[in-house]
């Protein structure tokens, strides 16, 4: 807070203190005065009102407030001037203690009119013609009721000798006071009124005092009448200065914007006026009318009462409707923010919470969680059980979040099998610990239907940096999650900026690859597969290469994953299949029986998911005059685990007579169970088991290599050892029972003509 605003806040206090001390002073005077001169008692009024003029004028001249508010307080200071004049007149008349003359009341009446006018100019709630008409009708109702009450009740208590002037002046002040009270009340309950609501409530003290003095002057006895006469000025001034002080205070300390619910008791004031008038009419009619007239009046009043009661019921009904609407709205908002299957927060709520925490500069980490191979689970077990699994995953995330150290973690389901947790942490160790614990929580088997299922998750961890947007944090977590998937799934990976660069590179490579297919930059090499016992050429594996115009030769290890992710693998794979078949047909023509019997083609899971894949293969074979037995399709274990459709495709290919080879065998997780479920013909022992096989150092790998050979023999499959690089490896493999092998030791992937030359030549002498 600046020194200026502080000064302004205390400046409002001085007039309030002056008015307050005048009230106290006058009360003390009333208690001690002896009944002779009353002049001293009347002095408090003008002094206090000067303070009120000053207090209101101070705000009215401040450039810190908006125009309507300034105009309002200026009008109030004018009204205070008029009341000050009225109070001076009372002071001069105090000597003879006469009643209230019209002349003496005139400035007061004008003062009240001024306040009412100032109020009427404030922008109050509903500015439509209908809104104004409603306010006007309410005010007329209050004025009529006030006049009637004054006429029939107050005047009936008038002390003898009250002259007509006093009666009219007091009546005018009283009714205007009521009107002012009603309009101040209305302004005070108007939501978002420009003038502070508490200031207006404090201001309503003034009309109350006005109405009270009007009654007292007519119906009061001498003592209270005097007390009221001397106290009116100071009390009215106290109300003005208190309101002014409050307004100053609000300017210096603006309150936080809260949605206050204003109670609309004000709406009941016109009703109260109607009911009071009705009671009055009945009382008067019972005194002054004959039976028939009275019956008519009572009937009319009853109708009015019924209409009012009906109105009240309508009000109640509206309130109930409003409350119902509010509950419905709250429920709709809740539903729009919740995932219906799991009850967790949905993507919208998660994004909003993330943005909120970032905006508040709070520590934020996002864990992006994707269930590994969920598609396969969903396909094999059906969507109902898939849903059950998702529900249980959500349950575990919820449990994990409720026991987290901050207790502020927000788990959410973003869609499909993708979940996320928002952590209140920016400490890498805390974030990684949370990821590891979630992984552990999800690693426990799930009971879904009758089955016990193991479902792993890949988790991407992104700690928000300074200035990161919600989108950036989510994208980083996503990138890290994909890195976890690519790294072999069932793992968590923390985002690092270089990953973003990799994604950009992949995207660029993807668009270049698209052109590569069109511009014929792809070609095939053929790696011969040998019978390692006889040394004869047995077959060949087609391996794609990309001759990039700038980068040179790009290896499939770099561009196949990009092609798989972008879907380009489908046209690329089609091209490879056609080209390999075309080449085999050419070799057959050129080398007759010397040509290899079958060509191996690698096929990605994305291709197997294409509904027309089987037909495409059949069409290509027939186009080049080949038989199904001339083709071996190499697939990885993870494709077999992909789902029902892929399994059906593989079955159809097998039934056609095409052989299926499990590539990179031994590196997957569920090799043995797959062999039962899937019609495999060839096992290709992964190169990693061949490496180091010769020196016998790695007994584990050695055992796998030997076991695969035995398994193949037992199941009557052929086994091919991949990546043979030395004679020692070759010998060892042969000893283990391998019959077929490929590797740089025998031949690297070769251009078609070099591979063809091998078919024409004599068998390669295999070293023994
Ligand atoms: P893969 O199907 O397991 O192919 C064997 C890979 O091992 C080839 O690498 C081959 O050059 C390499 N290799 C063979 N013998 C040796 C050896 O003695 N030592 C070493 N160090 N490496 C050896 P390449 O051609 O780079 O292909 C890598 C992978 O890319 C392939 O693994 C296959 O998964 C994929 N790929 C290649 N061509 C295609 C294709 O046309 N379609 C699809 N979908 N994938 C392909
Ligand atoms: Mg292969
Ligand atoms: Mg392989």
Ligand closest in space to the Cα of 664: 3
What is the DSSP secondary-structure string of 59-81?
Answer: HHT-TTS-HHHHHHHHHHHHHHH
- Give me the phi and psi of 79, to 5 degrees please: -60, -40
Tokens encoding 149: 């009450």
CA of 543 to the centre of ligand 1 (A): 6
Same domain, 411 and 549: no
CA of 600 to the centre of ligand 3 (A): 11
pTM over 0.75: no
Same domain, 374 and 448: yes
The alpha helices in 33-66, defined as continuous H runs, are: 39-60
What SS3 class is residue 85? helix
Same domain, 521 and 484: no
CA of 576 to the centre of ligand 3 (A): 17
Structural domain ending residue among the three candidates 254, 277, 301: 254
- Residue 171 CA, distance from chain mean position: 60
Question: What's the count of helices (H) and strands (E) in the chain, helices before strands?
Answer: 29, 16
Number of domains in the chain: 3
List the CATH number of the domain containing 705. Answer: 3.20.20.450
Nearest CA to ligand 1 atom 23: 723
Same domain, 566 and 712: yes
Which residues have any ligand 1 atom within 6 Å of their CB?
Answer: 527, 543-544, 555-557, 560, 573, 576, 602-604, 634, 663-664, 722-725, 742-744, 749
CA distance 732 to 722: 13
List the CATH number of the domain containing 420. Answer: 3.30.70.270
Burial class, 685, CB count within 10 angstroms (exposed 0-12 / middle 13-18 / buried 19+): buried
Specify the ligand 1 atom closest to the Cα of 690.
Answer: 18
Ligand 1 pocket check: which of 560, 568, 682 to mutate, most ligand atoms within 8 Å of Cβ? 560
In a domain? residue 241: yes
CA of 541 to the centre of ligand 2 (A): 7
CA distance 575 to 470: 42
Interval 510-525: pLDDT, tens: 889 988 988 999 999 9
- Residue 367 CA, distance from chain mean position: 17
Same domain, 483 and 542: no
Same domain, 436 and 577: no
In a domain? residue 671: yes
Is the alpha carbon torsion for 220, 23, 76, 259 positive or negative? Answer: negative
Tokens encoding 393: 């995953």
Quote the pLDDT of residue 128: 72
Structural domain ending residue among the three candidates 254, 289, 311: 254
Quote the pLDDT of residue 476: 95
In a domain? residue 740: yes
Is the alpha carbon torsion for 332, 337, 340, 344 positive or negative? Answer: negative
Same domain, 431 and 543: no
Quote the pLDDT of residue 418: 95
The secondary structure element, H or E, covering residue 474 is helix 470-486
Pairing of strands 740-741, 522-531: antiparallel
Full residue range of the structural domain in which residue 693 is found: 517-756
Ligand 1 pocket check: which of 526, 543, 565, 605 to mutate, most ligand atoms within 8 Å of Cβ? 543
Tokens encoding 500: 């973003």
In a domain? residue 437: yes
What is the DSSP secondary-structure string of 612-652?
Answer: THHHHHHHHHHHTT--GGGEEEEE-HHHHTT-HHHHHHHHH
Ligand 1 pocket check: which of 529, 530, 556, 692 to mutate, most ligand atoms within 8 Å of Cβ? 556
Closest by alpha carbon to 237, among 440, 408, 413, 22?
22
pLDDT averaged over 10-residue windows placed end to end, the chain, 768 residues: 54 87 89 74 89 91 81 91 86 63 78 83 68 77 80 74 76 82 77 79 86 78 76 91 89 62 60 74 72 73 74 78 88 89 94 93 94 83 90 93 74 95 91 91 88 88 91 95 83 92 84 89 97 96 94 90 89 96 97 95 94 96 97 88 83 96 79 76 94 78 91 93 95 95 97 94 51
Contacts of 362 by beta carbon, 8 Å cutoff, 6+ apart:
424
Pairing of strands 446-448, 451-453: antiparallel
CA distance 631 to 580: 9
Ligand closest in space to the Cα of 690: 1
- Residue 160 CA, distance from chain mean position: 74
Q: At what angle do helices 497-518 and 470-486 cross, to 10 degrees?
A: 70
Nearest CA to ligand 1 atom 38: 543
Q: How many CA atoms lie within 13 A of 71 on its CB side?
A: 11
In a domain? residue 526: yes
The secondary structure element, H or E, covering residue 720 is strand 718-721
Residues near ligand 3 ion, CB 5 Å cutoff: 663-664, 722
Same domain, 51 and 188: yes
Dmax over CA atoms of the chain, in Å, equals: 147
Same domain, 14 and 151: yes
In a domain? residue 262: no
CA distance 482 to 493: 9
Stated length of the chain: 768
In a domain? residue 603: yes
Same domain, 523 and 487: no
Burial class, 70, CB count within 10 angstroms (exposed 0-12 / middle 13-18 / buried 19+): middle
Structural domain ending residue among the three candidates 254, 272, 294: 254
Same domain, 434 and 575: no
Same domain, 174 and 223: yes
Quote the pLDDT of residue 662: 93
In a domain? residue 162: yes
Specify the ligand 1 atom closest to the Cα of 601.
Answer: 41
């Amino acid at each position: 807070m600046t020194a200026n605003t502080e000064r302004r806040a205390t400046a409002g206090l001085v007039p309030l203190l002056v008015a307050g001390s005048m009230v106290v002073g006058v009360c003390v005077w009333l208690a001690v005065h002896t009944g002779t001169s009353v002049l001293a008692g009347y002095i408090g009024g003008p002094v206090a009102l000067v303070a009120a003029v000053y207090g209101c004028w101070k705000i009215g001249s401040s450039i810190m407030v908006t125009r309507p508010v300034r105009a309002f307080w200026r009008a109030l200071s004018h009204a205070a001037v008029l009341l000050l004049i009225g109070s001076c007149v009372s002071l001069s008349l105090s000597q003879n203690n006469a009643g209230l003359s019209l002349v003496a009341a005139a400035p007061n009446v004008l003062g009240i009119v001024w306040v009412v006018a100032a109020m009427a100019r404030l922008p109050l709630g509903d500015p439509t013609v209908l809104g104004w008409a409603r306010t006007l009708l309410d005010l007329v109702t209050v004025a009529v009721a006030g006049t009637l009450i004054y006429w029939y009740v107050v005047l009936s208590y008038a002390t003898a000798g009250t002259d007509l002037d006093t009666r009219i002046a007091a009546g005018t002040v009283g009714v205007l006071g009521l009107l002012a009270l009603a309009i101040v009340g209305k302004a005070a309950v108007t939501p978002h009124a420009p003038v502070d609501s508490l200031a207006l409530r404090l201001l309503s003290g003034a009309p109350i005092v006005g109405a009270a003095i009007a009654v007292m002057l007519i119906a009061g006895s001498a003592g209270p009448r005097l007390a009221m006469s001397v106290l009116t000025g100071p009390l009215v001034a106290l109300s003005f200065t208190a309101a002014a002080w409050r307004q100053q205070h609000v300017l210096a300390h603006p309150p936080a914007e809260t949605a206050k619910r204003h109670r609309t008791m004000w709406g009941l004031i016109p009703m109260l006026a109607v009911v009071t008038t009705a009671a009055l009419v009945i009382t008067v009619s019972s005194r002054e009318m004959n039976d028939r007239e009275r019956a008519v009046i009572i009937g009319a009043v009853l109708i009015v009462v019924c209409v009012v009661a009906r109105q009240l019921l309508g009000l109640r009904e509206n309130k109930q409707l409003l409350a119902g609407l509010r509950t419905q709205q709250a429920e709709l908002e809740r539903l729009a923010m919740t995932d219906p299957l799991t009850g967790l927060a949905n993507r919208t709520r998660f994004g909003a919470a993330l943005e909120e925490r970032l905006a508040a500069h709070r520590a934020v980490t996002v864990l992006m969680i994707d269930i590994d191979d969920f598609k396969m689970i969903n396909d094999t077990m059906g969507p109902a059980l898939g849903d059950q699994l998702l529900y249980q995953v959500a349950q575990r995330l919820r449990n994990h979040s409720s026991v987290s150290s901050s207790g502020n973690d927000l788990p959410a389901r973003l869609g499909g099998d993708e979940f996320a947790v928002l952590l209140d942490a920016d400490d890498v160790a805390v974030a990684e610990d949370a990821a590891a614990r979630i992984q552990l929580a999800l690693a426990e088997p799930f009971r879904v239907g009758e089955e016990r299922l193991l479902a792993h998750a890949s988790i991407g961890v992104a700690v928000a940096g300074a200035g990161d947007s919600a989108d950036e944090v989510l994208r980083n977590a996503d990138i890290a999650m994909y890195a976890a998937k690519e790294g072999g799934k069932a793992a968590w990976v923390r985002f690092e900026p270089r990953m973003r660069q990799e994604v950009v590179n992949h995207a660029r490579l993807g668009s270049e690859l698209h052109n590569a297919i069109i511009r014929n930059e792809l070609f095939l090499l053929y790696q011969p597969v040998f019978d390692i016992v006889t040394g004869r050429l047995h077959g060949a594996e087609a391996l794609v290469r990309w001759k990039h115009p700038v980068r040179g030769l790009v290896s499939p290890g770099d561009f196949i994953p990009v092609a798989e992710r972008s879907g380009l693998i489908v046209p690329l794979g089609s091209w490879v299949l056609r080209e390999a078949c075309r080449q085999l047909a050419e070799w057959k023509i050129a080398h007759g029986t010397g040509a290899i019997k079958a060509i191996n083609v690698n096929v990605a899971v994305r291709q197997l998911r294409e509904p027309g894949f089987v037909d495409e293969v059949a069409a290509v074979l027939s186009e080049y005059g080949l038989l199904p037995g001339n083709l071996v399709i190499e697939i990885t274990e993870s494709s077999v685990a992909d789902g029902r459709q892929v399994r059906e495709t593989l079955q159809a290919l097998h039934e056609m007579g095409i052989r299926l080879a499990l590539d990179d065998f031994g590196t997957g997780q569920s090799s043995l169970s797959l062999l039962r479920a899937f019609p495999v013909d060839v096992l290709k022992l992964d190169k990693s088991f061949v490496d180091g096989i010769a020196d016998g150092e790695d007994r584990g790998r050695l055992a796998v290599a030997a076991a695969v050979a035995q398994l193949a023999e037992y199941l009557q499959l052929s086994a091919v050892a991949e990546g043979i690089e030395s004679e020692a490896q070759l010998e060892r493999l042969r000893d283990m029972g391998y019959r077929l092998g490929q590797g740089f030791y025998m031949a690297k992937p070769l251009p078609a003509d070099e591979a063809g030359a091998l078919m024409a030549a004599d068998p390669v002498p295999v070293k023994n």
